[in-house]
Homo-oligomer: A and B are copies of this chain.
């Protein structure tokens, strides 16, 4: 079963807003076994909308339209829908009541232009919008379903989850669909592909595989779709069982909608262990990744961003002589930073980073992209050096991901 998403409005085309609605729709539709064939973002223009509707009807069984339903005069979506379906607008009492009730809350006058939000195509089934004035509309044409929704994300999301998805489940018989994602590290997309080639070639046709690379790691996404739920679950389990030993380098406990730092946080919390960080070139990125997640205070003690060289000696108590003889970007400094920050915060584990994120060389002669990362525990410290390329943002991002990788390996050691 195929769907097409049409977003209407200039904001996306001029880059004023990022289209997060389509990603949400793609995810929700995929969960019930509907594949999105195409996402089309178009202007708020009658001819353009008609063209997009025609093409979508040819391509897909389900057409979801978002945006173009605001009260301002440039929103012509509803009139165009009428033209497309040979229909006309009628006033819907319930929608009008909803509009009036919303306006009564805020003490702003109800204008005619607002009342017009109660006009819907006569053939449309109204999907009541409890968070805004623009109603959702469900229109059927033959076996095809067209759904028009407001573009405001939380209004659209509520309509999709509470009304559109359940009604699609009623109307169509969907296959069972199951997604599993494996997060791999330290492997390029191509070397990963090589490692699992034989396995991939032998995958049953109802399981699709996608490689999603980003900053030194690759997400491997398996999507299985079939009518027989048990068979899908058994086969998926079997395939993951087969592939994991081939990949070896995978993050443990990763789930699609959970960041790896959140997973590591839960693992530390379960173990009752704590973490401290000393960051130089990553400049606080690692700390903020952990603290972005609720519950970080259960395991995260804190971080010292020792950006200026003297702060490495003053605050982290790194020996000036080590910096002298080995430079700030060195094994000696990285390991001293990790050991000393662990003691300073009295934590079980500590990570440190020192390197040159570029674009120019800093207080050391290290090449741009060179980063030392150290891990310290109560009874040991060790470190590795990497070169993460010459793009500042990328160097910081890859160093952060590598730190997560080294940390998880350490905390899960038996």
Contact = CB atoms under 8 A, between A and B. Distances in A.
Interface of A: 10-20, 22-28, 30, 35-43, 48, 70-74, 102, 105-106, 108-109, 111, 113-114, 130-131, 152, 154, 158, 187-191, 193-194, 210-214, 219, 221, 223, 274, 277, 279, 282-288, 290-292, 294, 296-297, 300-308, 310-311, 314-315, 344-346, 358-360, 362-363, 369, 387, 389-394, 396
A10 B210 contact: yes
Contacts of A111: 190-191, 194
Contact of A212 (B16, B19, B40, B210): B16
A19 B10 CA distance: 16
A386 to B, nearest CB: 8
B30 A38 contact: no
Contacts of A291: 282-285, 305, 307, 396
B12 A23 contact: yes
Contacts of A369: 105
Nearest to A45: B37
Given A12-B22, A190-B72, A307-B301, A396 B292 contact: yes
B70 A41 contact: no
Contacts of A23: 12, 15-19
Query: What is the oligomeric copy number?
Result: 2
Contacts of A113: 190, 193-194
Given A39-B39, A284-B287, 11 more contacts: A19-B19, A37-B42, A105-B387, A111-B191, A130-B390, A152-B214, A283-B287, A288-B288, A300-B308, A303-B303, A310-B346
Contacts of A42: 37-38
A26 B39 contact: no
A291 to B, nearest CB: 3
A105 B387 CA distance: 7
Contact of A345 (B71, B308, B389, B390): B308
A188 B72 CA distance: 10
Contact of A210 (B16, B292, B345, B391): B16
Q: Is the interface of A mostly helix, strand, loop or mixed?
A: mixed
B283 A305 contact: no
Nearest to A211: B72
A41 B22 contact: yes
B25 A211 contact: no
Nearest to A113: B190
B305 A305 contact: yes
A61 B187 CA distance: 40
A42 B19 CA distance: 15
Contacts of A37: 13, 42-43, 48
Given A18-B20, A113-B190, A303 B284 contact: yes
A362 B305 contact: no
A15 B22 contact: yes
B105 A391 contact: no
Nearest to A130: B390
14 contacts: A13-B36, A14-B223, A18-B20, A22-B41, A39-B40, A71-B189, A154-B394, A284-B286, A294-B360, A297-B362, A300-B308, A302-B315, A303-B304, A315-B315
Most chain B CB within a 10 A radius of its CB, from A28, A114, A189: A189
B12 A39 contact: yes
A223 B14 CA distance: 10
A41 B314 CA distance: 53
User: What are the 3 A-B residue pairs with the smallest beta carbon separation, nearest first?
Assistant: A283-B291, A15-B26, A284-B287
